[in-house]
């Protein structure tokens, strides 16, 4: 029987690449609107995929509960690839915090109920989460983003900059992964965060157009001298969901072409 895998942010470049890599599974694709979900689901269905879809606003608990119920109906739950998120280009601190971190926390809590042997949840962080140093003053808020005052606490450290808020939120994703590994593990499930480097998704292409000098510098300081592709990420996702990754949990997997050491030197 095929495993059922959920992909959030399914219409994005990485979400679609992950769907392509997981053709042998039954796929539940989700995104923020019915029309977007229908478009991407129809596209994969026409290519012969076993696929269904449902819209979900990951920042709303009731939407995530509906998603969970929908997934349960499909049977043989095998895991989730949580790619949904926004970049700092959203220019809205609260939106970045809510979608990238609060939404992730809601997903992790809801899908804990489905955790069992041979299941894995893959959360998407970013290499930029690694440039934010540990600090108990904001780490508690990042670990508990739904707590009253968490947003204001983190916002006080980012100087009104949405890109910096993105970095903080992605550190928070790594912390959520670490903090939930034990409870997922008690049920036999795994939880992993994955930190891509510069990946040429439509979102990254937009960033490249807005900041060409920054993107050029990034490529130059990447050890492998190129930007990543969505397939560079989806191949790792396929591995992490498989039995070959059966002893990996609570870890952040960096897939960045070797850029982080240079970034840390220059920051």
Quick one: pLDDT at residue 173?
99
The answer, yes or no, to whether residue 4 has pLDDT greater than 90, is yes
Q: What is the CATH number of domain 4-266?
A: 3.40.50.720
3-state secondary structure 167-231: HHHHHHHHHHHHHHHHHHHHCCCEEEEEEECCECCHHHHHHHHHCHHHHHHHHHCCCCCCCECHH
The model's pLDDT over 172-213, given as tens digits with 9 standing for 90+, comes to 999 999 999 999 999 999 999 999 999 998 877 877 888 888
Quick one: pLDDT at residue 203?
73
Confidence of residue 22 (pLDDT cuts 50, 70, 90): very high
DSSP state of 113: T
Count of H helices and E strands in the chain? 12, 7
The model's pLDDT over 125-176, given as tens digits with 9 standing for 90+, comes to 999 999 999 999 999 999 999 999 999 999 999 999 999 999 999 999 999 9
The answer, yes or no, to whether residue 34 has pLDDT greater than 80, is yes
Cβ neighbours, 10 Å, residue 206: 12
The answer, yes or no, to whether residue 90 has pLDDT greater than 80, is no
The answer, yes or no, to whether residue 87 has pLDDT greater than 90, is no
pTM above 0.75, yes or no: yes
Instruction: Please state whether 203 falls in left (phi above 0), alpha (psi between -120 and 50) or beta.
Output: alpha
Confidence of residue 89 (pLDDT cuts 50, 70, 90): confident
Quick one: pLDDT at residue 134?
98
Give the CB-side neighbour count of residue 67, counting CA atoms within 13 A: 34
The answer, yes or no, to whether residue 106 has pLDDT greater than 90, is yes
Q: Look over the chain and give the mean of its residue pLDDT values, rounded to a whole number.
A: 96
The answer, yes or no, to whether residue 112 has pLDDT greater than 90, is yes
Sign of CA dihedral 100, 106, 108, 114: negative
* High-pLDDT (> 90) share of the chain, %: 89
Quick one: pLDDT at residue 38?
98
In the chain, the largest separation of any two C-alpha atoms, in whole Å, equals: 51
């Amino acid at each position: 029987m095929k495993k059922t895998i959920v992909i959030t942010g399914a219409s994005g470049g990485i979400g679609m690449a992950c769907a392509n890599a997981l053709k042998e599974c039954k796929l539940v694709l989700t995104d923020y609107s019915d029309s977007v979900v229908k478009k991407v689901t129809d596209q994969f269905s026409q290519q012969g995929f076993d696929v269904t879809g449902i819209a979900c606003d990951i920042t709303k608990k009731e939407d995530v509960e509906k998603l969970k119920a929908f997934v349960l109906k499909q049977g043989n739950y095998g895991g989730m690839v949580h790619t949904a998120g926004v970049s700092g280009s959203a220019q809205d601190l609260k939106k970045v915090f809510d979608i990238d971190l609060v939404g992730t926390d809601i997903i992790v809590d809801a899908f804990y109920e489905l955790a069992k042997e041979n299941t894995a949840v893959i959360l998407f962080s970013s290499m930029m989460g690694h440039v934010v140093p540990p600090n108990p003053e904001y780490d508690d808020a990042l670990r508990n983003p739904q707590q009253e005052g968490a947003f204001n606490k983190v916002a006080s450290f980012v100087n009104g900059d949405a890109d910096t808020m993105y970095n903080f939120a992605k550190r928070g994703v790594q912390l959520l992964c670490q903090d939930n590994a034990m409870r997922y593990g008690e049920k036999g499930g795994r939880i992993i965060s994955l930190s891509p480097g510069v990946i040429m998704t439509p979102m990254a292409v937009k960033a490249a157009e807005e900041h060409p000098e920054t993107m050029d510098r990034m490529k130059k300081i990447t050890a492998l001298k190129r930007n990543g592709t969505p397939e560079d990420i989806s191949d790792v996702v396929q591995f992490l969901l498989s039995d070959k990754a059966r002893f990996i949990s609570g870890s952040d997997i960096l897939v960045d072409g070797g850029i982080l050491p240079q970034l840390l030197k220059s920051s």
